[in-house]
Amino acid sequence: MNKTDITIAQQLLSNSNSIVVVSHRNPDGDAVGSALGLGLLLKKLNSNVQIILPNDFPEFLAWMPESQNILIFENEVAKATQVLQQADLVFTLDFNAFHRTGDLMGQALSELSANFIMIDHHEKPDDYAQYMYSDISFSSTCEMVYHFISQLGYQHLIDKDIASCLYTGIVTDSGSFKYSSTTSTTHRVVASLIDAGIENAKIHNLLFDNNSYNRLKLLGRALEKMTVLPEYHTAYIILSQADLNEFNFQKGDTEGIVNYPLTIKGIDFSVIFIENTAEGIVKMSLRSQGDFDVNLFARNYFNGGGHKNASGGRSDQSLSESVGYFLSVIKEDNPSKL
């Protein structure tokens, strides 16, 4: 951020009476953490702020400060649309294209006359924002929000609640600081958040050591169904709707499962296929380590994208057809080709 960027952001904030903070569909720790962290900061500036998320967030994030005041778009479409239409300024966090909020909310956003500020760390942003803070080198949007707050001169307003929200996004999107996007600056930011009073050990426990019995049983099923393709340095997991139903699937229960195959020696690419019969699609999470670009793989074959080592995708084919297509393309595009 340069002085011109800061001036633009300050002018947009000072000229706005009603502010909405939005993040992407199927919100994760970085989405919810950045929205709540920024929202709490703006309230300290006496701004009229409402956080709107496209759909509900996982239960393991419900402890976060002010999470009970988040407006869920798909649950209250008319109210959420009205709030958006009355906004002077909309922050879009952790996404850079309206369609990432879903068809209905994406349409609502595209029709607004409000100004937009984008803060995001994904590739190829759409050009809709009056101010765009976009940088793929950052580990998380929460880290970027911290720098945004600091550059505006409000770092002294970061209290324990704001810091806890920002830490949540940093620790989840950095893979507990193990991903290559974690830098010395990331750790300095976290040190500052600890100085602000966060209980980092407690937060980690709430995020990662707070499983239900059914979630662990589902994890067991996933590992049981894992297939390893050593010749391609690849492994994949399939979870059918029947698997999800058997273990009373709740939002967030499959979070992190895709990372387990990467702990196998020689495996650099991992994919999980999750059947969603209600939406008629197969959702995918893709992870890699090293130089294999899962963002490019997801964009090329599965209508998705994200980061080099962590991306999402989807297929409109059946579960078996989706896996079959994956097996056909992995023979030509896999880590062993690097």
Instruction: List, as one string, the DSSP characters of 193-227.
Output: HHHTT--HHHHHHHHHS---HHHHHHHHHHHHT-E
Distance of alpha carbon 333 from alpha carbon 229, whole angstroms: 13
**Would you place residue 5 in the very low, low, confident or very high pLDDT band (cuts 50, 70, 90)?**
confident
CA dihedral 89, 90, 94, 96 (to 10 degrees): -100
pLDDT number for residue 130:
94
Stated pTM of the model: 0.92
Number of Cα atoms under 13 Å in the Cβ half of residue 181: 23
Coil, strand, or helix at residue 19? strand
Distance of alpha carbon 80 from alpha carbon 47, whole angstroms: 18
Report residue 240 as tokens. Answer: 């059918």
Distance of alpha carbon 313 from alpha carbon 137, whole angstroms: 21
Q: Mean of the pLDDT values across residues 72-101?
A: 97
Length of the chain: 338
Coil, strand, or helix at residue 133? strand
285-333: per-residue pLDDT in tens?
999 999 999 999 999 999 999 899 999 999 999 999 999 999 999 999 9
Distance of alpha carbon 323 from alpha carbon 88, whole angstroms: 45
**Would you place residue 337 in the very low, low, confident or very high pLDDT band (cuts 50, 70, 90)?**
confident
Domains annotated for the chain, with CATH where assigned, are: 3-208 (3.90.1640.10), 213-337 (3.10.310.30)
**Would you place residue 4 in the very low, low, confident or very high pLDDT band (cuts 50, 70, 90)?**
confident
pLDDT number for residue 21:
98
pLDDT number for residue 2:
73
Please count the other Cβ atoms lying within 10 Å of the Cβ belonging to residue 290. 14
Bridge partner residues of 109 (DSSP): none
Coil, strand, or helix at residue 11? helix
